[in-house]
Amino acid sequence: MAQRLNSSDPDFAAKFKEFANAPREGASEVGATVADIIAAVRERGEAALQHYTKEFDKFHLTDENIAISEEECAAAEAACDPEALKALAFAAERIRAYHEKQRPEDILYTDDAGVTLGWRWTPVEAAGLYAPGGLAAYPSSVLMNAIPAKVAGVKRLCLCVPTPGGHANPLVLAAARISGVDEIYRIGGAQAIAAMAYGAGPIEPVDVIVGPGNAYVAEAKRQVFGQVGIDAIAGPSEILVVADKHNDPAWIAADLLSQAEHDPSSQAVLITDDAAFADAVEQAVEDQIDVSPRKKIAAAAWEDNSAIIVVASLDAAPGLVDQIAPEHLELAVENPQALAAKVRHAGAIFLGRFAPEAIGDYVAGPDHVLPTARAARHASGLSVLHFMKRTSIIGCDEKALAAIGPAAAKLADAEGLPNHAASIRLRLGSE
């Protein structure tokens, strides 16, 4: 049973703070192993990839089969359920349309001192995408990671996906094809991240690496950050639902379990102003867990990490939401826009009773790669901007330099940097 909190209890503030700050994952102990894998890939290249692929995926990697060809992708797509392909294409169209609106504009202007200023945006040359394979294959994540990169203008998009026993998930390959992925390699784990970061065999280094993965993948991304950019170090999934009594308890229970079923470390939270409704949702959750094919996972997440919070008024909800800073926030209330306006920290906000979080995972359009573990306090979801960089533009003519240069030279003097000052004063004829 999930933890039950009531804002009227005298110790509510302390208990809520403890709940909001409780860790949901043990400290990763894979750092040393990952460091060894990365070092091996840097030193031995494709030979290391072959070694680790045989060890972990039970597959003999060779020069001939390391890359998945266009012909293999076409055959995989042909083997997919036509309705699933249609849904993928529908999702891709909506994701692409949404992200095209994110492309930033270049700016160039002249200020009152006559200085030319501005910025320009350019895409990275190459991006790497990691996609889990086997049982934990998510074609929707391929769309969500690849399409923003292509919309940004990335010319080379490389996908690494493990193929246990040599078998690739057909729908993952179809999603890669629909998204415009340029290269696909049969490599998983930390070794795939190392290969994309430093290069190995036919895989050339990339500039940015994105995509979900297990603890080894996450740690590898952490260790190569700086050599390449990354999207984030993702934690367990989260959902917080603010709901009044006018909802169907079964709907809200299903929404809570949509994230609880991901992983035993996931979190689901309900905030409501009606105790009877809270009871009904709690019962509906228990009923749905009992018949879930993912019962063991969902039950662990619900019992160990989740909570039902009853408040005197939903006016208190935004303050509690901001302390949790959830990955996903559903506002199943009469006027969701008004409540949303009071929330500062959430990865994505779903407005109204007919906007379940699951719609955002697949076809709404915004990216489903979102900040977790309270990172919504300072971070945003994956976007076109993750694959672009902003370059500042500065231009002066003689008059403009005369207007602003003396102040710069004076600051250089104050910092003890005479050549900085001289580079300005020589142009001004004052040195």
Active site residues: 327-328
Residue whose token pair is 């996908």 = 159
Q: Report d(CA 258, CA 237) in Å as an integer.
A: 10
In what helix (H) or strand (E) does residue 85 lie, and over which residues does it extend? Answer: helix 82-100
Q: Report d(CA 363, CA 383) in Å as an integer.
A: 16
CB 317 within 8 A of CB 311: yes
In what helix (H) or strand (E) does residue 22 lie, and over which residues does it extend? Answer: none
Q: How does DSSP classify residue 203?
A: B
Structure tokens at 109: 């202007």
In what helix (H) or strand (E) does residue 37 lie, and over which residues does it extend? Answer: helix 31-44
Spell out the residues 6+ positions from residue 294 whose beta carbon is closer than 8 angstroms to its own: 261
Spell out the residues 6+ positions from residue 217 whose beta carbon is closer than 8 angstroms to its own: 130, 188, 189, 190, 192, 193, 211
CB 199 within 8 A of CB 156: no
Helix axes 170-179, 82-100, angle to 10 degrees: 40
β-strand pairing of 229-230 with 208-210:
parallel
CB 176 within 8 A of CB 149: no
Q: Characterize 244-262 residue by residue with b for buried, 16 or more Cβ atoms within 10 angstroms of its Cβ, and e for exposed.
A: eeebebebbbebbbbbbbb
Nearest to 19 by CA among 293, 311, 334, 307: 307
β-strand pairing of 183-185 with 208-210:
unpaired
Structure tokens at 126: 């190459």
